[in-house]
Amino acid sequence: MTYNSIVLVKQVPDTRTVTGDVMSKKGTMNRSAMPAIFNPEDLNALEMALQVRERYGGQITVLTMGPLKAADILRDALFHGADNVILLSDRKFAGADTQATAYTLKSAIQKIGDFDLIFCGRQAIDGDTAQVGPQVAEKLNLPQITYTESIASMDGDEIIAKRAFDLGSEIVKCKLPCLLTVVGSADRIRPASARKRIENKLAAIPSEYPAIVEKWAEFETETALAAYLTERNLEITVWTAADLDVNEDQLGLSGSPTQVYKVNYVVLESTESKEVPPTKEGIRELIQELIQEYIVG
Amino acid sequence: MTENFFLDNQDLQFRLKQLDLRDVLEIKEQGYAYAQEYGTAPRNYADAMDNYHLLLEVLGDICANIIAPRAAEADEEGAQFIDGEVEYAAATQEAILALKQADLFGAMLPWKYGGLNLPETIYQMMIDIVSRAESGVMTVFGLQEIASTINEHADDETKDYFLPRFARGEVNGAMVLTEPDAGSDLGSVQTRAFFDEEAGTWRLNGVKRFITNGNADVHLILARSEAGSRDARGLSLFLLERDETVRIRRIESKLGIHASPTCEVQYDNTPAIMIGKQRFGLIRYSMALMNGARLAVGAQAIGIAEAAYREAYSYAHQRIQFNQPIAKLPAVSRMLLSMRAEIEASRALVCETGIWVDRLKAYEHLQSQRDKSIPDLRQKLKEASNLADVLTPLTKYYASEMGNRVCYVAMQIHGGVGYMNEFNIERLCRDVRVTNIYEGTSQLQIVAAIGKLLGHALDDLLDKWAAVDYGSALDSLKKQLAETTMLFKKATDALKEKESDIIDFYAADLADIASFVVISWLLLQDALVSQRRADIARVYIGEHVSKINALGTSIMKADKTALLARETILAEQF
């Protein structure tokens, strides 16, 4: 039996290289000012989908919502072996919180239709909410396995997977179709394939055509390029709000109950310190204080 | 930015940019008609070069981030022999899997078998990059070369059966030539092949030794098909897939490249397919196979040298003595300069040789297709064949000796700590040592090159390069080179007149001069591109020219004095 997968991915600012004014006055992020990368745990999710395809067959569709620039990570997904990629991009999607995002993704998944598994990274390194995956599952009325580290087996409409936590792990069985959120300790993404890297190098969305035509003189016009890309299935599908069966009030900023009220700049004072005497009594007091402050316990 | 062994290597990127493969690719890609049929085939020359860049980028990423970080581990664990089977070190297994997932096995195979139809020059760049990361796994990766031999010489049925599996990375290969009593002298191979009339197949019996990756799934093996014969003309080439009749008897414990299993293999009535024409096993096919492998070993030595240079460079900049980084000491900076120049010089040589091998293969293909589109094909084929024949052994000789010199000096820069296991340079010194031994020792490369050298095989090429206008800034270098080139030609004529044992005695000197002359002209052409390249040419030529001239003079005066001294000095054990 083969299994079709949808992998939800996100282009995120590389929080390892945050600099300068990346926060707008409204409290949202100015994404164009930061280097953008494939969200790390989404790569683990993609690898898990690739392994399922390797073992059982099926198709992998990678879906992302974001600005047009997010086409970069979709190309990356193709280089690693995805069969199809779809970009959800529309001004109406902008400013979405986890609920509006989950609503949009859910609508796109319904449009894709045929799937057995949905994979996503546990959380994105920009928002760190870990909410989108579970919300998508709820909206689709699907069971979900969060914190998935590996898939033990799949048989008919049943999956057995391992969930990993700080203090241990859990083996669970679940009916398909279902959604899995994948943790960073799962297998890391395989290298890009040289063959697919070459084959898909021109995969593009229409807004990227002018740059391609300028670089590759053999495509005299954008129309000629478009024809070439269509013939080779290299057009990256872009869906806007109009392509989805959605209630526009539930999209983007207007569909987001979460509003950033205020952003505080926290300066950590390294001078704050307290000396604990190295006695049993001292340590006991320290532990009690940590428990009272809800830091441990 | 994540590390990448291609993108951080400006010399390799420069070489790729300088490559002119137009004529080769026009033939190899059939005027770029393959692009209609295969999604990965290039639409034109610029597209092809861009593809090669992308491919090397993918490889550079794997090598820097997956293979190199576990190189010391691969060396320490090494390939193991357990219950009659070879097991690669865990790090090597991961490396092989990554290269397979990246679709980099079978890269030189034609499109129709699922390959990437790569030219030899690009393949050698891949070997360079892999070897910098871990030179043991390079032997597993590099043995995809045998798939190319199958492609060039086997019949269609055999190719259809084997090659797609090579391209998918499902099988790997071994080149099985050496025996306990047939090393450099392969003509005395004793493994027997007989035709089993009943089963309608050839069968092999015998023991092969020092077989790199002898645990591979597919073996290309040299065996004696003519019962009673004793020389090379009784040998044919066979292809077999390992089954229960093939037994790995042991693997060697050795100085370096621990990740690469060196096997002793026994064949017991093993069924095999004959490749190509009977009795041409050694003289035609194995030689062609070895020539490819020789170039790859040259590239391997360069990759190891690159790693060694980088270790030495960073150590020399970190190590403070006498209140300054030792890199600032003239004695140390001289060593670094010399290493850098030698590495870049060798890369230029490998590329030049690679292009001639590519041309040779392209022209041979046209000839086999009876293609008349190139009017002077016969002449072009002869030129490419001549140059590939002389440059291949010269390159293997030069690059592998260079790799050893560079690793030696790199350890010297490290001082005492370099001798310790904790530093990578110790491993690199062990690994590089095999490069001027296997696939034919340096001495054997000289034997392979000397005939052509004495026949002035390089003259036309050298004359062509000498006729280029290098501009006034490079005039004095050009003049120096022209004089050394003249001396090379004179020394060649002088040596040619000598008795054969004197020729053999001085052959290494002539090979040294030839390598220097070829490389220097290549560097002079590079010097036209940038100031840095001009400086590399100056450093390289400046360091070698007077020594090379001295060698020339000594060849001119060559006599039997030293040879005769054998009778007194080596007559008995002192």
Report the CATH number that the domain containing residue B383 is assigned in CATH.
1.20.140.10
B436 and B551, same structural domain? no
The CATH number of residue A43's host domain is: 3.40.50.620
Among B457, B479, B507, where does a domain finish?
Answer: B457
Q: What is the rounded end-to-end Cα distance, in angstroms, of chain B?
A: 61
pLDDT of residue A225 exceeding 80, the answer is yes
User: What is the DSSP-derived secondary structure letter of residue B560?
Assistant: S
**Number of domain units in chain A:** 1
**Mean pLDDT within A4-20:** 84
Same domain (yes/no): B465, B517: yes
Whole-number percent of chain A with pLDDT over 70: 92
Are residues B275 and B323 both part of a single domain?
no
- A198: closest CA of chain B, how far (Å): 6
- Residue B160 inside a domain? The answer is no
Residue B275 lies in a domain: yes
CB-based contact B418:B410 (threshold 8 Å): yes
DSSP B13-39: HHHHHH---HHHHHHHTTTTTHHHH-T
Question: Is A24's pLDDT higher than 70?
Answer: no
Whether B157 maps to a domain, the answer reads: no
Contact check, Cβ <8 Å, B54/A196: no
For residue A127, what pLDDT is reported? Answer: 79
Closest by alpha carbon to B481, among A87, B351, A82, B489?
A: B489
* Structure tokens given for A195: 């063959």
In this complex, do B59 and A199 lie within 8 Å of one another by their Cβ atoms?
no
Which residue in the block uniquely carries the two structure tokens 């203090």? A167
Is the torsion defined by CA of A16, A21, A22, A28 positive or negative? positive
Q: Based on the fold, state whether residues B418 and B290 are members of the same structural domain.
A: yes
pLDDT for B571 equals: 82
Residue B101 at interface with chain A, using a CB cutoff of 8 Å: yes
Query: Mean pLDDT, to the nearest integer, of A128-146?
Result: 92
Confidence of residue A270 (pLDDT cuts 50, 70, 90): low
DSSP β-bridge partners for residue B201: B196
With respect to residue B34, please indicate whether it lies within any of the assigned structural domains: yes
Q: Which of residues B457, B483, B517 is at a domain's end?
A: B457
Are B250 and B395 in the same domain?
Answer: no
User: Which residue positions in chain B have pLDDT lower than 50?
Assistant: 1
Instruction: Tell which B residues from 148 to 187 touch A, by Cβ distance under 8 Å.
Output: none
CB contact under 8 A, A195 and B62: no
Alpha-carbon gap, residue A237 to A204, rounded angstroms:
9
**Do strands B192-196 and B201-212 pair parallel, antiparallel, or not at all (unpaired)?**
antiparallel
- Contact (Cβ atoms closer than 8 angstroms) between residue A121 and residue A149: no
Domain residues for the domain of B85 are 1-142
Contact call for residues A235 and A226 (beta carbons, < 8 A)? yes
CB atoms within 10 A of CB A157: 13
Q: Which domain holds residue A212?
A: 5-255
- Residue of B274, B259, B48 lying closest to B142 (CA atoms): B259
Using CA coordinates, name the residue in chain A closest to B38.
Answer: A199
Token pair belonging to B65: 């981030």
Inside any domain, residue A277: no
- The tens digit of pLDDT for each residue in A40-83 reads 999 999 999 999 999 999 999 999 999 999 999 999 999 999 99
Mean pLDDT of all residues belonging to chain A: 90
CATH of residue B72 = 1.10.540
Q: Are residues B250 and B101 in the same domain?
A: no
| B447 and B340 fall within a common domain | yes
Assign A264 a pLDDT band (cuts: 50, 70, 90): confident
User: Which stretches of chain A sit within 8 Å of chain B by CB?
Assistant: 190-199, 201, 216, 218, 232
Q: DSSP secondary-structure letter at A154?
A: E
Residue tagged 């070993």 (tokens): B297
pLDDT for residue A297? 63
| Rounded CA separation A186/A43 (Å) | 10
In a domain, A285, yes or no: no
- Tell me if A273 is assigned to some domain: no
> Is A296 a member of any domain?
no
Asked if residue A248 is part of any domain, the answer here is yes
In a domain, A276, yes or no: no
pLDDT at A5: 97
Q: How many domains does chain B have?
A: 4
ipTM of this complex prediction, to 2 decimal places: 0.91
**What's the CA dihedral at B517, B523, B525, B531 to 10 degrees?**
-150
Residue B64 domain-assigned (yes or no): yes
Which three-class secondary structure state does DSSP give residue B528? coil
- How many residues are given for chain A? 297
Identify whether residues B267 and B314 lie together within a single domain.
Answer: no
Using alpha carbons, select from B535, B512, B537 the residue that is nearest to residue B523: B537
Contact predicate B138/B212, CB 8 Å? no
For the stretch A148-195, pLDDT in tens is 999 999 999 999 999 999 889 999 999 999 999 999 999 999 999 999
User: In terms of domains, do B74 and B215 share one?
Assistant: no
Q: Give exposure, B27-50, as e/b (b: 16+ Cβ within 10 Å).
A: bbbeebebbeebebbbbbeebbbb
B555 shares a domain with B487: yes
> pLDDT class for A27, splitting at 50, 70, 90?
low
Residue at A136 is within a domain: yes
Same domain, B518 and B439: no
Residues B99 and B229 in one domain: no
The pLDDT value recorded for residue A20 is: 61
Residue that finishes a domain, picked among B411, B437, B457: B457
A-chain residue closest to B114, CA distance: A195
Domain contains B151:
no
> B98 and A195 in contact by Cβ < 8 A?
no
For B47, name the nearest residue in chain A, comparing CA atoms only: A216
